[in-house]
Amino acid sequence: MAKEEAPHVERLPADLLAHVLSLLPSFHDLAMAGGVSQRWHQAVGRSLSSRRRLSFAGQRTGDDFTARLVRAAVNLRDLDISRSCWGCQITDQGLLKLSSATCVPNLTSISLWGLARITDKGVVHLISRARSLQHLNIGGTFITDESLYAVANSCANLKDGEGSSLQSWVFFRPSDPIQTYFVV
């Protein structure tokens, strides 16, 4: 009886398979590839370590799963965990877990847009470790001045939408738009 040969893709060297998987643009496709076999699951883990950008925007994911993937992405520079109509259900607990990832001090971009379940506690913890940030999207959240102070104290490299450095931010009290409230 002849022995059945493994499919061609199963004969790829592990590093090459990991590289191919790192080229998948969709987080969903990467997650599906991890379910093919144990070998592919390990290759997905390897591919995460070389990723510079990771987006969970529009994906149905929670604190533990997101934190586990971000911790594996040691070379990550751009993290998007924005919420869409189906999307991320990240809480402060998730931001606390994310902040322990080795990539956080090197992140240059973070989007937390629309994450209504986060508060200052989680944002301050994450931002205080993200010292290389150049772009931060915190729109659609319910953070307060406490998070803005953390941004001011921790993120000296922030840039505006056109790439210019933000040397001075001025925030005003909603009740008195003439009085300066916060200057960075």
pLDDT tens-digit map of 56-72: 877 778 899 889 889 99
- Per-residue pLDDT at 56: 81
- Per-residue pLDDT at 130: 94
Cα separation, 177 vs 174, whole angstroms: 6
Q: Pick the most confident of 53-57, 121-125, 176-180.
A: 121-125
Cα separation, 56 vs 98, whole angstroms: 13
Residue 147's nearest CA partner among 109, 107, 95 is: 95
pLDDT of residue 159 exceeding 80: no
Which of 83-87, 124-128, 139-143, 150-154 is least confident? 83-87
* The token pair that represents 41 in the structure block: 């699951």
Which ranges of the chain would DSSP assign to H, the alpha helix?
14-22, 27-33, 38-50, 63-72, 92-98, 120-127, 145-154
